[in-house]
Amino acid sequence: MYENLNILVCDDDSADLKLFKIHLNNSSLNNPTLFTALNQDEIEQYIAEHKDEIDIVFLDYNMPGKTGIQWLAEMKSLNFAPVVMLTGSGDEEIAVDCMKLGAYSYITKQKFDSFSLSKVIMSTLDKWELEKERKSLLGIAAHELRTPLTTILGYTRLLKDFDEIDAEKRHEILDIIHERAEYQLGVINKLLNITRIDEGTINLNKEIKDIVFFVRRKVHEANLKAKAKEIAIKVITSVPYLEISYDPERLDEVLSNLLDNAIKFSSKSTEIVVELTVSDDQLKVSVQDQGQGIKEEELKYLFKMFSNVKVSSQPTAGEESSGLGLAICKKIVRLHEGTISVQSKINVGTIFTVSLPIDQ
């Protein structure tokens, strides 16, 4: 489910805007924020000042000044958010033409309701994210793999060109090459996972197993890495044993990523708490650190693989991060029909919470 969406509606009819607001408030969306623009000046102002914050645009075909088609072309060239056309009854052919020009969908004003509005918003954002991911995979791969590949090539040249490197130095160089190659393989595997999930070629292999033991085992594994930063990880659980249906391999990716991030973004001699609770037929697994925290305005971008807004928090010991992990976590959790959320406070810490249905 999409949360905390910023929705811009461009329409010069105040009655239509009021009706849109009513349907949005009655929709299934969680905490959306509505911005409205009545004319050309207001649209230009929102785009100039807030385009990086807008998640989706609803654009009236019959705007004064610049036409809806002209605005559609401009918004498409800026490529900051998907556009859904607002049309009148009988304008379906026009709406289809708009989609050919770059609109993601359309809604007929006289016919839509809260349910159809929710459906259009979610399907549009799903399509938008998928399209951005596919277009950006090559760029991500090139960016993430260039530096480690350059390192590998540099050190292999050393081994090739200098015969008198002592055994200790040679071993150190080989360790660096091995570590760089492992990092590259990890990035490639993440990119492949994203592609497979989006294409529907990854099927969950669910098993009914004890989730409490599973979490404790993952924490035990993570503790080995945490000790290097003198970080302690403890488990608090309201249930000693709980069987649910889940895919151990895929959920392993989620917990490993959340624990790795908690360690990366925590300072030395702090504590990480993993808590399991059961509420309303949901199992909640939270990972709480005492790290630097994340700015409130950046939280909504954490699970987006491709965003113009970069999260400013950095690993505390120079650890590497591809920025792909949380996007993959969200996809895997959604495959389990669950949700993942985050809370954070600067200089206090961050809590990631995964909610999974108990009965499936």
* Spans of all domains in the chain: 6-112, 130-199, 207-357
CATH fold of 207-357 = Heat Shock Protein 90 (3.30.565)
pTM for this prediction: 0.55
Q: Quick one: pLDDT at residue 150?
A: 83
Give the CB-side neighbour count of residue 78, counting CA atoms within 13 A. 19
Give the CB-side neighbour count of residue 347, counting CA atoms within 13 A. 0
pLDDT of 196 higher than 70: no
* Average pLDDT score over residue span 29-54: 90
* Average pLDDT score over residue span 76-85: 91
Ranking 60-74, 91-105, 126-140 by mean pLDDT, the lowest is: 126-140
- The CATH architecture annotation of domain 6-112 reads 3-Layer(aba) Sandwich (3.40)
Residues 116, 289 contacting (CB under 8 angstroms): no
**44 C-beta neighbours (distance < 10 Å), count:** 15
Please give the angle made by the CA atoms of 54, 59 and 60, to the nearest 5 degrees: 155
CATH fold of 130-199 = Helix Hairpins (1.10.287)
| CB-based burial label for 90 (10 Å; 0-12, 13-18, 19+) | exposed
Q: Compute the distance between CA of residue 217 and CA of residue 221 in angstroms, rounded to an integer.
A: 6
pLDDT of 198 higher than 80: no
Ranking 79-93, 117-131, 197-211, 220-234 by mean pLDDT, the lowest is: 197-211
pLDDT of 316 higher than 60: yes
% of residues, the chain, pLDDT over 70: 86
Judged by DSSP in three states, 9 sits in strand
pLDDT winner (highest mean) among 20-29, 93-102, 209-218: 209-218
Q: Quick one: pLDDT at residue 85?
A: 92
pLDDT tens profile 141-175:
666 677 778 888 888 888 888 877 888 888 888 88
203/233: higher pLDDT:
233
Please give the angle made by the CA atoms of 354, 298 and 268, to the nearest 5 degrees: 70
What is the widest separation between alpha-carbon atoms in the chain?
82
DSSP one-letter string for 84-124: EEEE-TT-HHHHHHHHHTT--EEEETTT--HHHHHHHHHHH
pLDDT of 335 higher than 80: yes
pLDDT tens profile 122-137:
889 888 877 776 666 5
Q: Compute the distance between CA of residue 21 and CA of residue 42 in angstroms, rounded to an integer.
A: 18
270/201: higher pLDDT:
270
